[in-house]
Amino acid sequence: MKFELHSLKTAHQIAFKAAVVSGLALATALPMTSLAQADVLKVAQGRDPQNLDPIDTFTLSWGSFGSNIFDGLVTRDEQIKLSPGLATSWEFLEEGKRIRFSLRKGVKFHNGEPFNADAVKFTFDRLLGEEGKAGPQRANYTSIGSVEVIDAHTVDFHMAKPDPVIITKLSGYGAMIVPPKYMAEVGPEAFDKKPVGTGPFKVASYTPGVDLKLERFDDYWNGTAKMEGVQVRFIAEPSTRMAEIMSGGIDISLNIPTTSIDALKQNDNVELHAVDGPRVNIFRLNPAKFITKDIRVRKAINMAIDKKMIVQALLSGYGTPINSAQGSKSFGFNPDLETYEYNPEKARQLLKEAGIKPGTEIALDYRSNRDLDREVGTVVASYLQAVGLNLKLRPHEASIYSSEIIYKGNTGEMFAFGWGGWTFDFDNTAYLLYHTGERFNPYIKDEKLDALLEAQRQTYDTEKRREGLQAVAKYAHEQAFEVPLFNIAALYAVGKHVEGFVAAPDDRLRFMNVSVKR
């Protein structure tokens, strides 16, 4: 009896030990599998574009990895220089009414389908047709009338109207070349989740809200990627993303909140890469209502704020004060445009002239999830207080800020606005900010400004366009339609073990030449 009990006990013990041993084996096996994954580059970004089809979204969160899956006829590198992509050359015919592209030979899509003139025609027919209408990309390409196949490796673009930015636009987003046969086989919905392009990486799997796994494409026309794969993780919460990069859980992180700059600089495992980006932050003024109707008030607000100090303190210097709603890399930037100097004395005087009583209350609207807007707003409030304006901060739920507050013209005297056109062309920003009837412009109706904006769209002459856009910036400055605050640097946190990383000013990273030393 006793013996039996004892043996029973040992049987239990053996089972228990076996469990422990197998558990240990499993535990040691886990690092081994992650060792096998050492050749995967781990990237994190804040948002999931929800859809991988190039024509269905218009977000930086798609652009950040899109160039690794797809190619356009034109390539734009990290120095925003244009070079041949899937087209080897192009020429403008009939004064720019027709553009002829010679296509690269021997290029294959990820599914083995050949790249040729039919694919180009299919891509743009889709973009400009019914399917494109449902998405946000089409509007950027309506200057293209039609695409004609000349032979298997030559196409002609017939332009419906002049578009001086068209070559740049062909290097990204909606102009990415997609495969006609694959699309016919799987249909547009399957393509949203598992698209096929000609890029250096192919889509292995996509789990919405979690991650996107890319695999090296060995038949890429322009060399081979150094890493076997890339995992793009979507981590919405900024502090979680920052904790991951600092602890080494990921190799590269995009969407660095300016509020984390200090912590990243102090971390020994991470390097902060910064490059002048397209994004500008401005506080727009309401010239149609309230006291900001008076141009003197708008100028006074501009003079009351010390932008240099804000950039130094809140951005730790990772930004540049601006004089119009564009950064120095933007086409249309005018370095000679003077800025409203920081001069509280003059601001007070202007307000007095305009008959504004000290202590008058004005409001600033912003998106509640934008920490930087709250911080800048708080600082601006104290600058304005010094000249006798009482600024009230009004955060709004992010999802309604554009649709309910801006589009419908429900803002107060000031409202925060951030924008960065990936084309680095002031036309992109200016048209949307100032042209009558644009969704993002609920207030400004100015015929002179409309004429300036339209004129520069009619010419391919670079210098004329530059002058036109500079005139727009100058006019907006004179009218003080906004407080241009700063051009914020594109920031990336990169593990020190990562090699070959090049910071892209437009968030469009290329992982081909990036490798990881573990």
Partner 1 sequence: MANEHSQIEGQVKRSSFRQFEFVAGLMLCGTIGMLALISPLLFPDGGQSVNLLARLMPPLQSSEYPLGADPLGRDILTRIIVGGRVSFTVGILSALGAVTLGTVIGLFAGYYRGFADALLMRFADIQLALPFILLAITIIAIFGPGLDRIIILMIVSQWVQYARLVRGSVLSLREREFVQAARSYGLANSKIIFRHILPNALGPLIILMTLNVANNILLESSLTFLGLGVDPRVASWGGMLAEGRNYAQSAWWVTVFPGLAIMMTVLGLNMLGDWLRDNLDPLGRTRL
Contact between 257 and partner 1 by CB under 8 A: the answer reads yes
> Is 399 a residue that touches partner 1 (CB under 8 A)?
no
| Residue 114: DSSP 8-state | B
Name which of 67 and 260 has its Cβ closer to partner 1. Answer: 260
Contact 41, 230 (CB under 8 A): yes
Can you state the angle between helices 117-128 and 180-193, rounded to 10 degrees? 50
Q: Report the nearest approach of partner 1 to the CB of residue 93 (Å).
A: 54
Q: Over the range 222-243, which residues count as b (16 or more CB within 10 Å of their CB) and which as e? A: eeebbbebbbbbbbeebeebbe
By CB under 8 A, is residue 178 in contact with partner 1?
no
CB-based contact 93:99 (threshold 8 Å): yes
Among 242, 350, 449, 485, binds partner 1 (CB under 8 A): 242
In this chain, which of 154, 339, 368, 459 binds partner 1, going by CB under 8 A?
368
**Nearer CB in complex with partner 1: 294/375:** 375
* 329 SS3 class: coil
In the complex with partner 1, the residue whose CB is nearer, 222 or 259, is 259
Is residue 379 a contact point for partner 1 (CB under 8 A)? Answer: yes
Is 395 a binder of partner 1 (CB under 8 A)? yes
Residue 394 binds partner 1, judged by CB under 8 A: yes
State which of positions 338-357 bind partner 1 (CB under 8 A). Answer: none
In the complex with partner 1, the residue whose CB is nearer, 305 or 514, is 305
Q: What's the token pair of residue 328? A: 């120095």
CB 497, min distance to partner 1, A: 20
> 265 in the Ramachandran plot: left (φ > 0), alpha (ψ -120 to 50) or beta?
alpha
Strand partners of residue 13: none
404 binds partner 1 (CB under 8 A): no
- C-beta atoms surrounding 451 within 10 Å: 9
Contact characters 266-305, partner 1, x per CB under 8 A: xx--------------------------------------
- Burial of residue 145 (CB within 10 Å: 0-12, 13-18, 19+) is middle
Q: From the list 185, 262, 461, 499, which residue makes contact with partner 1 (rule: CB under 8 A)?
A: 262
Question: What residues numbered 212-241 form the site for partner 1, per CB under 8 A?
Answer: 238-239
Give the distance, in angstroms, between the CA of residue 243 and the centroid of all CA atoms in the same chain. 22
Please say whether the dihedral angle defined by the alpha carbons of residues 440, 446, 449 and 453, taken in this order, is positive or negative: positive
The C-alpha atoms of residue 250 and residue 166 are separated, in whole angstroms, by 36
Query: Which residues contact partner 1 (rule: CB under 8 A)?
Result: 238-239, 242-243, 246, 257, 259-260, 262-263, 266-267, 309-310, 312-314, 368, 371, 374-375, 378-379, 381-382, 392-397
